[in-house]
Amino acid sequence: MLLHSTAATAGILKNLGVDNLYDWQKEVLHEIYRGSDIFLQQATGGGKSLVYQLPAAAEVGRALTIVISPLKALQADQVAKLKKSGIRAVALNGDLSDAERRRVLTDLPDTALLYLAPEQLWADDLRGALCRCHIERVVLDEAHILPQVELSFRKAYAAIGEFLSSLPVRPQIVACSATTTRRERKWIIQSLGMIEPVFFIYPMRRDNVHIEVKKIECPPKERGTDLESVMFHCVERELRRWNGEGAVIIYCPTVRRVKKLCKWLNGRDWATIRYTGKMSTKKRMQGQTAFLSGTAQIVVATNAFGLGIDKSDVRLVIHAGLPLTLSGYVQEIGRVGRDGKRGRCVLFYTGGDIKQNERILKKAGNEKAQKRGLRGLYALQKVLKSNKCIWHEVERYYGQKKGKRCGHCSHCLAKQT
């Protein structure tokens, strides 16, 4: 572990606009500077990235931190902020021209943080450039993705552990996530070859986030009405309750529903943009930029949107349909109220959503992947059917100690009436 300068650390914090570190960040940083492998689980938007960005920027000497990150948009967002603060950070991905890529690799020994997707790890030119670097640590961001992938999806994730083992000097390994179960943490540790990692597992509950779940049914006098149409009207009612401050994310389970709901809302004078994995990179980036800048306040999207998006003033997250798993749901509601102010999350679902998700998950990956997905779906189903505090059910699933009843989720409020 290279030495770091306290004065440099203070200067970097100032440049990043951070007045003080949280106590938990100081605890994690202490172990990082000791050289321990780290498993960090902290709520979305809690400040996880700072605990590896700060040491990387402050270390004296030619030390490189590699950050394995799943999305180009996430890489670009992080790198832009770090560069603005004077930190030597770059992203290596397929969007670079040949000349830009050569420049990045040439300057690598003088780089503090290198962001890339796992698909880049085995590129011959990168491997050659890494031979000239001292790799201090490797960070796996959004580590919950690792146990979810199979050979049929992003095969490079399965080879991250092999890449780490191939390095001439073993680096420090840091795994970060907002949502992992005990079973998933064990999987991640074994896959990465982490040695006696120090665990920092912080509470998932965020008391400023108010959760509601509502089952969509046709009124008795309107039998035969399209349930999707009823859902769209419910979504609009929630938008009317929104005071117009901050931003709104509306998640849909399919690309088809994104297109249909976006068109329907725009036709009713709600200015919305859409975001799906089927859109071109250019259109996705345009939409994301508009949303982050505040030019667009409402985005209608599939779960392809939001991973790592750092927008503090999302006030409302609506689900127009059931997410596939509880982990997916918790990740998505984690995008609301990051500034600590109150945010609302409303989930609309129909009686057929569970069966539909079962069909999707039973076709995904191998038998183990299917079982893992179904386990997450049934955990979400239990939340819907339970009359207990929703945060209690989330805490139970992730093996965390239950706190007091939140008092403001739809289940808690139902008991008060």
Structure confidence at residue 406 (pLDDT): 93
Measured at the CA of 287, the angle between CA 282 and CA 293, to 5 degrees, comes to 125
Cβ atoms of residues 343 and 209 within 8 Å: yes
**Looking at residue 64, what is its pLDDT?**
94
Domain boundary among 201, 234, 253: 201
| 190 and 228 belong to one structural domain | no
Render 113-147 in DSSP notation, one character per residue: EEEE-GGGTT-HHHHHHHTTSEEEEEEETTGGGGG
Residues 164 and 68 in one domain: yes
Question: 105 with 111: CB under 8 angstroms?
Answer: no
Q: Which of 155, 178, 201 is the last residue of a domain?
A: 201
Three-state secondary structure call for residue 409: coil
Whether 243 and 364 map to the same domain: the answer is yes
CATH label of the domain that carries residue 297: 3.40.50.300
What would the pLDDT profile of 361-403 be if each residue is shown by its tens digit?
988 777 877 888 899 999 999 999 999 999 999 999 988 888 8
Please count the structural domains in the chain: 2
Distance from C-alpha of 231 to C-alpha of 218, rounded to nearest angstrom: 10
| % of residues, the chain, pLDDT over 70 | 94
pLDDT of residue 102: 95
- Residue 12's contacts (CB-CB under 8 Å, 6 or more residues apart) are 54, 57, 58, 85, 87
The reported pLDDT for the residue numbered 61 is 60
Same domain, 146 and 177: yes
* pLDDT score at 364: 76
pTM of the model: 0.84
Residues 168, 255, single domain; the answer is no
Check whether residue 150 and residue 268 sit in a common domain: no
What are phi and psi for residue 385, nearest 5 degrees?
-85, -20
Q: Which residues of the chain have pLDDT under 50?
A: 1-3, 5, 151
Provide the 3-class DSSP secondary structure of residue 255. helix
Tell me: do 170 and 243 sit in the same domain.
Answer: no
Q: Are residues 148 and 243 in the same domain?
A: no
**Rg, Å, the chain Cα set:** 22
Residue 311 confidence (pLDDT): 86
pLDDT of residue 155: 78
Domain of 146, in residue numbers: 6-201
Q: Are residues 264 and 304 in the same domain?
A: yes
Round to whole Å and give the CA distance between 294 and 314: 10
Q: Is the dihedral of CA 291, 275, 365, 332 positive or negative?
A: positive
Strand partners, 320: 348
Per-residue model confidence as pLDDT tens digits over 210-261: 999 999 987 655 555 689 999 999 999 999 999 999 999 999 999 999 999 9
Query: Is the residue at 84 inside a domain?
Result: yes
Same-domain status, 248 and 186? no
Q: Judge if 270 and 410 occupy the same domain.
A: yes
Give me 369's structure tokens.
């992947």
* 190 and 239 share one domain: no
Q: Answer yes or no: is 1 within a domain.
A: no
Residue 348 domain flag: yes
Average pLDDT, the chain: 89
